[in-house]
Structure 1
Amino acid sequence: MMLSRLMSGSNRSLDLPCVCTVRLLDDSEYTCNVQRDAKGQHLFDLLCHHLNLLEKDYFGIRYVDPDKQRHWLEFTKGIAKQMRSRSPFIMCFRVKFYPPDPAALKEEITRYLVFLQVKRDLYHGRLLCKTSDAALLAAYILQAEIGDYDPGKHPEGYSSKFQFLPKHSEKLERRISEIHRHELSGLSPAGAELCFLRKAQTLETYGVDPHPCKDVSGNSAFLAFTPFGFIVLQGNKRVHFIKWSDATKMKFEGKTFHLYVREKEEKRLVLTFIAPTPEACKHLWKCGVENQSFFKLENSKQVRTVSSSNLFFKGSRYRYSGRVAKEVMESSAKIKRDPPEIHRAGMVPSRSCPSIGLRLSSVPRTRRRAVHISIMEGLESLRDSAHSTPVRSSDHLDVLTHRAFRETVISDEAYTPCCSILPTPVYDSNLELSFGQQVNGTTCTTKDEESDLAAPSIPDMETPPPALPGPEGSVQREPEPEQENTFLQSVLRLLAVTLCLLLALLLLLVILAESDLELAFLRDIRLTPEFQQFHYQYFCPLRRWVSCKLHPIIRLIDS
């Protein structure tokens, strides 16, 4: 009776639906109920139907596991098994593969969603640019969201009430207003969004979502995947750019990530990096496999299951399950329907700076936490708020004042990643962080999102070692002790696998020769002339020899 009650209670718990809440790009939320065994594809289809989205292959759903590690939801696997937490499940809808040419997208609704994502990248410091480009991009956003300049509605200094960029100055705000007033009049919201995307795609950090790591020398770096290839940001420059066609293989072992690069004269080079955790390294590897499959392959039939290691079945195996970029473009060209209605999100009051008064933002934010970081720390200072790094706690926080915030400046020099790049935080829909940096002797701030569920903080960092010397494209060589350890590990794995195979073969032979199992395939093997010859000429003499050797020992034990 008790057992039946327990089983019935278990069955009822399995029948209960899971509540999924997905935060969209405009910071609204979509909530639905799904069965506990529902696949990720089911939730994604419901979400795309809600958004009236057909060109959906560029997008994905993100979630964070209980260890604060970020993941992309796999559509071929169950939602509940991936989340490893209790319902309700909190996720985010984001651009997973940035289109190489946003203007080539067929539908306006798709361009609008990509516009929202790139606008977030600009606001959170992931899309780097000079002051002139930043002013133009901000003016496009202003035109798209409030329309033409109207003296009756837009008094002097109206652009200062909006937050488009991680850093502002009065000069920059005046320049934004000038462009909006005199150069963009008459431009429709869709036209302003398209111009914004065309300008953004020309920047080198378009589509970049950096993963923190270190090279083999211990220098901090950020790895990122773009529509065109694999890049490495280190110190204040981009030290590597590898086209997808030149990246022959990616693999990882523990926290170590390897990228194999094909160069001229059939030479192959290896770039090696160390991720913060094994989980972060695996996530980095999977993101690389997916991006390379999506942007490089001609069709999805070319997709193959890849392994993180060369040695038999050791390591993780993964297979990209979606369509590739060329198939998506061909499918988009066949779309024939009336353009869906787009409900553009307006600007909303900010709740993050009450001391400043009413300040509006096109990217809604929650409470703000500030951290002072020197420019000398570069990218190293941002690693604990990055895309794939679990959140770590810290008590060393230095809150910036309103005056420092108002004195922020974007340099007109060529961009440097260490100045303003800020990778995606753990919950990038509501997460807000800010940090101060020294640009041309002036303190400036950058802001990012802060989660309602977890408030990550950035620990104080010491100044990292200098950037890796050498020209762009130089290769980081693995030290000799590391090579020796890797070789020994490979030999031991080979010996272990060989021993297991021999034991399995011996067990099979014993079952064939000694067991009374009357299975059809065993009987067929026993009746073959080769097996009978092996049995009488080799196995039986070996069995008698082993019996003679063990007989005295057995008698001794019995006595």
Structure 2
Amino acid sequence: MPHQWALLFSALLLQRDAKGQYLFDLICHHLNLLEKDYFGIRYVDPDKQRHWLEFTKSIAKQMKSQPPFTMCLRVKFYPPDPAALKEEITRYLVFLQLKRDLYHGRLLCKTSDAAMLAAYILQAEIGDYDPGKHPEGYSSKFQFFPKHSEKLERRIADIHKTELIGQKPETSERNFLQKAQMLETYGVDPHPCKDVSGNPAFLAFTPFGFVVLQGNKRVHFLKWNEVTKLKFEGKTFHIYANQKEDKKIILTYFAPTPEACKHLWKCGVENQAFYKLEKSSQVRTVSSSNLFFKGSRFRYSGRVAKEVMEQSAKIKREPPEIHSAHSTPVRSVSHGESFMPRSRSQVADTSEGMAVISDEAYSPSDSVLPTPVAEHSMELAVSRQINGAPCSIEEEKESEAGTPMYGERGDYGADSRSAQEGAGGDSALSEVEQVNKFVLSVLRLLLVTIGLLFVLLLLLIILTESDLDIAFLTDIRQTPEFEQFHYEYFCPLRRWFACKLRWVGELLINK
């Protein structure tokens, strides 16, 4: 992705109430990107919770911290057939995202598929194999996965040397996309959760439906036309679905925090609308109602997949130049090495992952990582679950392809450490806001409870004191239980209230 993004934000700062759509359109214009509906802008709040920037709302109002903000351009809706995208610039950006997914352990696959995918990347990065430029072990210098073996490195080099000679970079990228889309985890952006038994799981939304990953396999897959409702309450997330033969199922999972659960719900609502609906005019505001409160309301804003593909077919222009740079990390390569990537694909910083590709497959519980939070050194130690046990890992660095938005202090997209420093003074304010929200929730619950008690008391008075000749009231009054309640409890309580009222009245008269 381009380094010149800082230039975008001087203009953005002129509009202090700029909405997310303005920033997104500015970026797409800079990239000369027309098929932009597949993409979104992701940011991470001070509590390390991921969010998608909502285009209909003010940018500043969505941020819990103070500017400068760190944001990343990401593929939000993966194309069902990425190789069939109309323009090469779009395919290239999706290629970068999938390459990043592979590197961070989201795009899970067998070792044989992993070797082929890495070989396509290598061909796109450095071109044809040349014995004079590429010494023995050259493929081991590149970091395609979180971690891999020498055997896999040799297999990658063998494929690159023998099977891909003569392929142009754009052809290798297209072949990579075709291979990647066949994998079960294509398009997976994992949300860590736990099932009802407390076992770790990863929930994700793909172009084809909702999936649940546990261990090294996909344990649930629901097509979008089978999913009838998505709901959340606090940290609890529910998926309602109708499968064949009118089989109704409800899946329940627990997110780490209420904020993570709400983010999961929003992602599900948007993905279902994008992939399932025929027209954007069919989009409706959805609500996740609680027992007493209105709950969260959310509406997807944008075109749906079918409309996007129809619009793409109408594009008629000369293919734009691609100014972005590849970002495959290189391990321990000196400046004098002769097999550096071609000019279109400069390398980024290295980053050591923690997961390993096994002989057959690597498990999402070992290798699925969240989107990183950019810090001063572009690293962050976060906590995750490995085979059910918590452990600390060092997150991946944000590379040039990861699109951190750099800028001077006061511009959107500068180093997020500055954003964290700006947010430091707001931490106490954030705690106060949380306390206020809690107090308001308690007050609402108290008001609802008082209202219910008042209604019950009113109904009781009507039953006992009124002379309404209504059949069902008469039947209730004649039951032995009600008569016992009336004479043993209600009448003494009424006399006690009457006595107290007379006593208060006498005090007022004497004064």
Superposition TM-score, scaled by structure 2 size: 0.71
Q: In the TM superposition, what whole-angstrom CA distance separates every residue of 1:450-505 from its partner, at most 9, and x where no partner exists?
A: 46757xxxxxxxxxxxxxxxxxxxxxxxxxxxxxxxxxx9xx89965975998xxx
The amino acid across from 2:132 in the alignment is: G
Letter in 2 for 1:66: P
Residue 98 of structure 2 aligns with an amino acid whose one-letter code is V
Q: Does 1:248 align with 2:228?
A: yes
Contact 2:379 2:394 in 1 (8 A): no
Query: Hey, what does 1:424 align to over in structure 2?
Result: 371
- Is the aligned partner of 1:339 residue 2:319? yes
Query: Are the structure 2 counterparts of residues 266 and 130 from structure 1 closer, same or farther at C-alpha, using a change threshold of 3 Å?
Result: closer
1:124 aligned onto 2:76: no
Q: Report whether the alignment pairs 1:283 with 2:263.
A: yes
Q: Are 1:211 and 2:191 matched, yes or no?
A: yes
Higher mean C-alpha displacement, 129-138 vs 69-78:
129-138
Q: Residue in 2 aligned with 1:32?
A: 9
Contact 1:366 1:430 in 2 (8 A): no
Mapped contact 2:38–2:77 kept (Cα < 8 A): yes
411-420 or 211-220, which moves further after superposition?
Answer: 411-420
Q: 1:143 to 1:271 in 2, by over 3 A?
A: same
Instruction: Assess if the C-alpha contact under 8 Å between 1:213 and 1:222 holds in 2.
Output: yes
What are the superposed Cα offsets for residues 405-458 of structure 1, whole Å, 9 maximum, x if unpaired? xxxx6333245433433343334994477999999xxxxxx985146757xxxx
2:135: which partner in 1? 155
Equivalent residue, structure 2, for 1:258:
238
- What residue in structure 1 maps to residue 152 of structure 2? 172
Contact 2:104/2:353, CA 8 A, preserved across alignment = no
The one of 61, 75, 87 aligned to 2:41? 61
1:192 to 1:366, Cα distance in 2 relative to 1, 3 A: closer
- In 1, the alpha carbon distance for the partners of 2:504 and 2:346 equals 81
CA distance in 1 between counterparts of 2:162 and 2:237 reads 50
Which of 391, 396, 402 is matched with 1:449 structurally?
396
For 1:122 and 1:413, locate their aligned partners in 2 and report how far apart those are by CA, in whole Å. Answer: 16
Structure 2 Cα separation of the partners of residues 266 and 241 of structure 1: 17
Matched, 1:320 2:267: no
Structure 1 residue 413 and structure 2 residue 379: aligned?
A: no
CA distance in structure 1 between the partners assigned to 2:232 and 2:386 by the alignment: 36
1:176 is matched by which residue type in structure 2? I
- Of 195, 211, 217, the match for 1:231: 211
CA distance in 2: counterparts of 1:135 and 1:317, whole angstroms: 45
Query: What is the Cα deviation at residue 244 of structure 1?
Result: 0.8
1:366–1:144 CA distance, 2 compared to 1 (3 A): closer
Other-structure match for 1:557: 508
Q: Matches of 2:383 and 2:50 in 1, distance apart?
A: 22
Given that 1:369 and 1:432 are in contact with CA atoms closer than 8 Å, whether structure 2 keeps it comes out as no
Deviation at 1:237, TM superposition (A): 2.2
Which residue of 182, 188, 194 corresponds with 1:202? Answer: 182
Counterpart of 1:191? 171
Contact 2:78–2:207 (Cα < 8 Å) also in 1: yes
1:337-376 aligned within 5 A: 337-346=317-326, 350=330
Q: Structure 2 vs 1, CA of residues 433 and 191 (structure 1 numbering), >3 Å: closer, same or farther?
A: farther
Size of the aligned set, in residue pairs, is 410
Letter in 2 for 1:422: L
Label 1:32 to 1:102 Cα distance change in 2 as closer, same or farther (>3 A). Answer: same
CA contact (8 A) 1:366 1:431 kept: no
Distance in 2 (CA, whole Å) between partners of 1:354 and 1:95 is 30
Question: Which residue does 2:458 correspond to in 1?
Answer: none
SS, match of residue 210 in structure 2: strand
Asked if structure 2 preserves the Cα contact closer than 8 Å seen for 1:98 and 1:207, the reply is: yes
Q: Return the alpha-carbon distance in structure 1 between the equivalents of residues 277 and 194 of structure 2.
A: 29
The percentage of counterpart residues that share the same residue type is 71
**1:28 shift after superposition:** 7.2
Answer yes or no: is the 8 Å Cα contact 1:233–1:240 preserved in 2: yes
1:133 counterpart = 2:117 = no
Distance in 2 separating the partners of 1:284 and 1:494: 31
Cα 1:151/1:89, change in 2 over 3 Å: same
Q: Deviations over 1:50-104 (max 9, x none)?
A: 1000000000001111222110000000000001221111100000001010022
Cα distance in structure 1, aligned partners of 2:139 and 2:324? 19
Write the deviation string for residues 363-399 of structure 1: whole angstroms up to 9, x where unpaired.
Answer: 966575776x8xxxxxxxxxxxxxxxxxxxxxxxxxx
Once residues 267 and 494 of structure 1 are traced to their aligned partners in structure 2, the CA distance between those partners, rounded to angstroms, is 40
Further displaced range: 228-237 or 114-123: 228-237
Query: Counterpart of 1:181?
Result: 161
Hey, what's the Cα distance between the residues in 1 that align with 2:384 and 2:199?
22
Corresponding position of 1:528: none
User: SS where residue 178 of structure 1 aligns?
Assistant: helix
What is the CA RMSD across the aligned residues, in angstroms?
3.7
- The code of the aligned residue for 1:32 comes to F
Q: Which runs of 5+ in 2 are unaligned?
A: 388-392, 399-414, 418-441, 456-499
One-letter identity of the residue aligned with 2:26: L
**Matches of 1:55 and 1:267 in 2, distance apart?**
38
Could you say what secondary structure the match of 2:9 adopts? strand
Q: Which moved more, 1:290-299 or 1:166-175?
A: 166-175
Distance 1:363 1:82, change over 3 A: farther
Letter in 2 for 1:258: H
**Contact 2:146-2:352 at 8 Å conserved across structures:** no
Distance 1:216 1:83, change over 3 A: same
Look up the match of 1:16: none
Task: State the 1:178 CA deviation.
Answer: 1.6
Q: Is the 8 A contact 1:144 1:189 kept in 2?
A: yes
Question: For 1:135 and 1:434, how far apart are their aligned partners in 2?
Answer: 29
CA distance in 1, matches of 2:3, 2:181: 23
Counterpart position of 1:396: none
Question: Under a length normalisation based on structure 1, what TM-score does the superposition of the two structures give?
Answer: 0.66
Cα 1:59–1:218, aligned 2, differ >3 Å: closer, same or farther?
A: same
Code of the residue aligned with 2:193 in structure 1: it is C
1:490-538 deviation per Cα after TM superposition (whole angstroms, max 9, x unaligned): xx89965975998xxxxxxxxxxxxxxxxxxxxxxxxxxxxxxxxxxxx
Residue deviations 1:281-318, cap 9 Å, x none? 00000000001010110010110000011658621000
Tell me by how many angstroms 1:265 deviates. 3.7
Asked whether 1:293 is paired with 2:273, we answer yes
Moved more, 43-52 or 429-438: 429-438
**Closer, same or farther: CA 317–177 of 1 in aligned 2, 3 Å:** same
1:142 aligns to 2:119 (yes or no): no
